Structures are given as C-alpha cells and as structure tokens.
C-alpha cells in the first residue's frame, strides 16, 4: 500500500468548509516542533532533547508528500520514526514515481535530529503489517504514535474519478480507491493498536482530505467521497475505544498541498511554485507538506491533546492557529476557510487574505 502524497486538494472537486472542531480551548504555548527549516536539524535543539524524545512513531505511508513531512517533523521533535511505503530503492509502487523512496525519508528524519528507520511495507498485505508491528515490538517494546497516511491513489483520479459520475468510474478503479484509502487504514490500525495501547498516552493520527465540516459537501464522486470520509470516522470511532487508555485519535487534513506530485503536475518546483498560479489561481493558497506536519508534531507534544482533539477532525490551518506554527515561508494559510468563504461562498477576497 502506498504511502505517499495523502492529501492533495483538487481544484476540480467541491472542497468544503474551513476549519474543523477543537479550538474551544485556550491556545497553548507553541513548541519548537514548528521551528527550523524543511530539512536539516534544528540548530536551537542541538544538544537538547526534543519534546518527543524517547517516543516511538510509525508513519505508514511516508514515501513522499504529507507522510514524508510528518515523519521528518516528528523526528525533528526527537522521536524515533519507522517509515513505511511501497516505493523503495529496490521497487516502485503503482504510483510510478521512483524519485522518492522510504529510504530517503528515513535519512531525512535522521538528518532532522530523530532516528529514521525505513521498512518497505505494503499495508494491504496483512502478513507484512504483522511483521512490521512485531519488529517495532522487538526493537522498541512500544509504539506511542501511529500516523495512518496511507493513500497512493492520485493516479486513478484524473482519468477515472473527477468529471465522471460514480457509475462511469471503472469499478475496478473505484474499488482500488477504497482499498488504498480505507482498507489499508483499517488493517494498519487493527494490527498496530494492540502495541499502541501499551503507551502511556497513545496517539493515532488519521490523515485525509477535508475536515468533517468540509466533507459535508459531496466530494464529487462516491468512491473518493467514501475514501476521504472514512478516516474521519475511523478517528471518531477509535477515539471512543482509546479513551480508557488515555489515548487520542484525530483526523487531520492539509489544505491545497504542494506535494511532489502536485508540483510535477503544474511543472514547477518548491522554489518557483507561484509560477503555477497563472494556470491555477487557487494554487495561491497552497501550502508545503511541512505545514501540516509541524502542527501534528506540536499536537503530539501537547499533554492536553486528548481533551482537545480526541475523536475530532482538524486542519493544518487550525493546528497552526492553536499551536502557533507556520509554514516554511513564514505564512499561515487556511485553505479550507478560503474555499468555503471565497470559492463556494462568493465572498470578496483573495488567497492572500487567508495566508
């Protein structure tokens, strides 16, 4: 199961409302999870333990995009991070991108100050996932943070999903989307949670596209709608079950993500991404994968996270407001509010008003 870019906001979908729930409590003091550059160790943490030092994390689907950034930022905060995906230096997944591998992700985690461990894993293969969990148990004896960033279905969307009625989507492609976006999450959670609940404060992070509020709008195609709403329900349901273990389950979403695949789609790089705005004006609200990742790292270090977030869904923009983190360019975009207010609501405004 891939890995990877979870989640790219598609401009031809009816993406919905702004932020999720969970900001009713006072804003805590920001942690250093949002500091430093996109790569490399935070010099201000040199010689000092990070807020997640001693914690063990698994980022399932960490080859690229949000998953890679989540692994790096958890590592920057001091965690040991197991990173998984199907694309490695020895094999390439159906996504077809050999330019990013899980070994690279592990190296980036270690360079940021954590300990990155790459384990090639197809998360639709139950035996492989069981072997992964046994390895973490054998080597660490615990798991504190599980990030389910599994997806890898972007290649199916343009031709088979967007712009088509659901019955026009080839059934094999639609069912594959559900495997990649739902079944992989369920398998991984079911097999990893027995180890996760050994932690004194287990954290499950489900990564998707859209908050619960935003996804009240139909996501254009039944298969995509199901795939992107299911992680929200997983977080809600497992939040109920984890509560007795002092645990937290939360669903998170980026906004319009400047993933490697999206940048390639527009023919730009992270350095000149604004050149794509001429082709797609809404790309002006785009954010780097590290924006969501910094918010999640701050959430993971929050001792009050269960009371604040358990069972809820939230966005990169909301996490930035709560924890005081910023994107790599110093901005604080809120793509979901922009689309709700300006794109869908007809309010006068520009992307700059929401950065």
User: 3-state SS of 186-210?
Assistant: HHHHHHHHHHHCCCCCCEEEEECCC
pLDDT, one tens digit for every residue, the chain (355 residues)? 444 544 444 444 333 333 333 333 333 333 333 333 334 445 445 557 899 999 999 999 999 999 999 999 999 999 999 999 999 998 889 888 898 899 999 999 999 999 999 999 999 999 999 999 999 999 999 999 999 999 999 889 988 999 999 999 999 999 999 999 999 999 999 999 999 999 999 999 999 999 999 999 999 999 999 999 999 999 999 999 999 999 999 999 999 999 999 999 999 999 999 999 999 999 999 999 999 999 999 999 999 999 999 999 999 999 999 999 999 999 999 999 999 999 999 999 999 999 9
pLDDT value of position 7: 44
Render 43-110 in DSSP notation, one character per residue. GGGTTS--TTTT-EEEEES-SSHHHHHHHHHHHHTT-EEEEEES-BTTB--TT---S--HHHHHHHHH
DSSP letter assigned to residue 344: I
Identify the pLDDT of residue 45: 54
pLDDT value, residue 27: 35
Q: What is the pLDDT of residue 293?
A: 98
Place of tokens 């369920």: 186
pLDDT at 216: 95
Q: How many CA atoms within 13 Å lie on the side-chain side of 295?
A: 30
pLDDT at 5: 44
pTM of the model: 0.88
Provide the pLDDT for residue 324. Answer: 97
Supply the pLDDT for residue 251: 98
């Amino acid at each position: 199961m891939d890995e990877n870019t979870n989640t790219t906001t598609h401009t031809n979908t009816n993406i919905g409302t702004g932020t999720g729930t969970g900001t009713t409590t006072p804003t805590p003091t920001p942690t250093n999870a949002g500091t430093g550059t996109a790569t490399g160790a935070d010099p201000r943490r040199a010689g000092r333990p990070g807020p997640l030092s001693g914690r063990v994390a698994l980022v399932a689907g960490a080859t690229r995009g949000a998953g890679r950034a989540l692994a790096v930022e958890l590592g920057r905060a001091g965690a040991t991070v197991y990173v998984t995906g199907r694309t490695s230096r020895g094999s390439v997944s159906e996504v077809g991108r050999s330019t990013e591998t899980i070994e690279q992700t592990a190296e980036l985690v270690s360079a940021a100050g954590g300990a990155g461990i790459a384990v090639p894993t197809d998360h639709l293969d139950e035996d492989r996932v069981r072997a992964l969990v046994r390895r973490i148990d054998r080597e660490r004896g615990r798991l504190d943070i599980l990030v389910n960033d599994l997806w890898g279905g972007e290649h199916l969307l343009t031709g088979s999903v967007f712009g088509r009625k659901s019955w026009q989507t080839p059934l094999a492609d639609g069912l594959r989307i559900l495997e990649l976006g739902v079944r992989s999450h369920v398998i991984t959670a079911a097999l990893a949670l027995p180890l996760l609940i050994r932690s004194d404060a287990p954290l499950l992070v489900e990564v998707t596209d859209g908050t619960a509020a935003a996804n009240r709008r139909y996501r254009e195609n039944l298969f995509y709608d199901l795939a992107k709403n299911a992680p929200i329900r997983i977080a809600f349901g497992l939040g109920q079950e984890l509560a007795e273990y002092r645990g937290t389950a939360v669903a998170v979403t980026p906004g319009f993500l400047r993933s490697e695949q999206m940048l390639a789609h527009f023919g730009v790089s992270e350095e000149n991404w604004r050149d794509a705005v001429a082709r797609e004006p809404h790309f002006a609200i785009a954010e780097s994968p590290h924006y969501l990742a910094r918010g999640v790292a701050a959430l993971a270090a929050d001792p009050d996270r269960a009371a604040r977030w358990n069972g809820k869904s939230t966005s990169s923009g909301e996490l930035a407001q709560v924890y005081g983190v910023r994107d790599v360019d110093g901005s604080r975009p809120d793509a979901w509010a922009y689309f709700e207010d300006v794109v869908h609501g007809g309010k006068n405004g520009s992307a700059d008003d929401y950065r």
